[in-house]
Every structure is written in structure tokens, then in C-alpha cells.
Structure 1
Amino acid sequence: MEFFLIAFIVFADQISKYGAIRYLKNRRPYVVLENFLQLNYVENRGAAFGILEHKRLFFIIITLAIIIFLSFYMIKNYNNLSIFTRISFSILIAGAAGNLIDRIRLGYVVDFISFRLKGYYNFPVFNIADTFIVISTILVVIIILFDKIEA
């Protein structure tokens, strides 16, 4: 089941990025909800908030290490991990893989979702892979806080 979840998320991420390149690149942002949500093509050559810009090889190595480590950990401890833990790790792997594909293929990560809280905060532009990385991180924190990693 986890393999299909990973494959589905990576597929959805890559299709959405293809759409962003095709329909948003070199165009004005598409406003979905005024002063709240817009689709805006951005080429992110760093990490969150554009930090460590132009460190492509570093991100490729770190991302591959995380994907390999989590994959082996899940395989080795599969029967000892709760479904909640397996899903958390799977969506982290999927998000990391989605952005890794961009870094290898394009040299940057395609971001296109832009949220704003009018007058308060502009979130960094992100993508579907980023969303799953954040969700998985929150889930892993919950697992750790409640000591639910069985293996």
C-alpha cells in the first residue's frame, strides 16, 4: 500500500509541476482568491525560503540519503511500524522524491502555490511535494511526542 501512496503523490506532484510550467511560466500569477491564494510560477534553486541557493549537489545527496535511509528502515522494520508511522514516512519519501526529480531533471524545484494573509504574512511559494513534506514532519513530531514508533 505504501508504495502506491508514494507513487500517487510523486505522480500528482510531477503533473502539477508540469501544469505550472506549461500554464504559469512567463505569465502573470493566476489569482484564485484575491489577497489569499494565487498560482505563481517560481524556480527555487535553494531550500525553503530560497536558503542555500545554488547548492544543487548538496540537496541531491542529502535527499537521496534521506530517501534511502527511510526506505531501508521501513523495509527492515515494516511489521513493527504502525500504519500511521508507515504513512508518515511514505509521504515524506514521496515529497522528497518529487523535489529530487526536479533538482535532477531541471536543476531547480518548481514552486507555484502562493498563500497570503492580507496585511499579515506572505508564505513562501511552494508545491505539492513541499505540502507532503510538511505534513509528514508534523506527523513524525506527533509520533515522537507520543512515543509511537514501535521499532
Structure 2
Amino acid sequence: MAVITLLLALLLAATDQLLKMIVIRDVKPVGSIDIVNGLLKLEYSENTGAAFSMMEGGRWGFLAITVVLCAFFIFAMFCYNNHEFFSRAACVLIVGGGIGNAIDRLVNSYVVDYISISFFPAIFNFADCCIVVGAIFLAIHLLFFTEHGKAEKVIRTK
């Protein structure tokens, strides 16, 4: 099951890269495209920082953090003994999104963002959505599907 989980994460990363290629081809030349008037638009943006463009220019630091976190979640895919839907989905989403944004940082030195919602101040991308939903799923798993006080016993190497 861990191999399937990893393959799904790679599929999400590939989907993220495909969407970014389409945005670069179709949105970058015009700047933005309205999808739902006044609510949602595709707007090309190059983000050299973290969320909300904080700490701009931290390419290598962000890349290192992403690699470490992805490695941790890949390890968890294979070694965590109490997986259920939320923990597996969290691993898939966080690793897939992390790899998608890491590719951008490595190749371009910035992350391509393109989703703009009128009531949310930041522009984001598919990989960011994966990471956020994955973090929510991880929180659900930790809060509702693990026994308090037994965390040190649930991760074991095979």
C-alpha cells in the first residue's frame, strides 16, 4: 500500500507541474483570466518566498525544508503502523504538493502561483491546496484516530 501511496503523491506532483505549464503558456502572456467574475481568477505570479510571499528570496532554505519534510512523510508512508484514510491521504497530499513546489524552486528559483480568490489575500497554486488539505487531514488523524500517550509506539521500522 505504501508504494501506491507514493505513486499517488507523484501523480499529484505531475498534475501540479502540468497545471503550471498550462498557466505559463496561457495565463502568463495576458496576466490574468477571470473565471468567476468578481470571485475567482487565474493570475500569473512568481513567488520567491513562502506562504503570502513571506521571507522572499529563501530559495535554498525553503527547498531544504521541503526535502526534509517530504522525506519524513515518505518514511511515514512505509513505516507508520497505524495508517487509515486520513493519515495516508495526508502523506499523499503533503508529499505531492511539496514535490510540485520543490521542482519549481529547483528549476525556476520561484514557485508559480495562479489561483486568486477575491476574499483571500494570497495567490496560490494546486500544490499549495494539496499541502493545506494534507495538513488538515494530518490534524484530523492526530486528533481523532491516535491514542493519546502512545505516539512513541506507533512508528516502528519494519
Q: Assess if the C-alpha contact under 8 Å between 2:24 and 2:44 holds in 1.
A: yes
Letter in 2 for 1:90: V
Letter in 1 for 2:26: Y
Aligned residues: 146
Equivalent residue in structure 2 for 1:52, among 51, 55, 59: 55
Post-superposition Cα deviations, 1:10-61, rounded to whole Å, max 9, x if no partner, equal 1110000001111111423100111100000000000110001000010011
Please list every run of 5 or more consecutive structure 2 residues that lacks an aligned counterpart in the other structure: none
For the pair 1:87 / 2:89, whether they are aligned, the reply is: yes
Please list every run of 5 or more consecutive structure 1 residues that lacks an aligned counterpart in the other structure: none
Q: Which residue of 2 aligns with 1:67?
A: 70
RMSD of aligned Cα (Å): 1.5
CA distance in 2, matches of 1:21, 1:28: 10
In the TM superposition, residue 140 of structure 1 has moved relative to its aligned partner by 1.0
In the TM superposition, residue 88 of structure 1 has moved relative to its aligned partner by 1.1
Letter in 1 for 2:146: K
CA distance in 2, matches of 1:39, 1:76: 39
CA distance in 2, matches of 1:28, 1:68: 35
Q: Which residue of 2 aligns with 1:14?
A: 17
For the pair 1:146 / 2:144, whether they are aligned, the reply is: yes
Q: Which residue of 1 aligns with 2:120?
A: 122
Q: Which consecutive aligned stretches of 4+ in structure 1 deviate over 4 angstroms post-superposition? A: none
CA distance in 2, matches of 1:87, 1:147: 14
Q: Which residue of 1 aligns with 2:112?
A: 110
Provide the TM-score with structure 1 as the length reference.
0.90
Q: Which residue of 2 aligns with 1:136?
A: 134
Provide the TM-score with structure 2 as the length reference.
0.86
In the TM superposition, residue 93 of structure 1 has moved relative to its aligned partner by 0.6
CA distance in 2, matches of 1:28, 1:53: 21
Post-superposition Cα deviations, 1:61-119, rounded to whole Å, max 9, x if no partner, equal 10000011111122122x43223311211210110110000000100000001111xxx
Identity across the alignment (%):
34
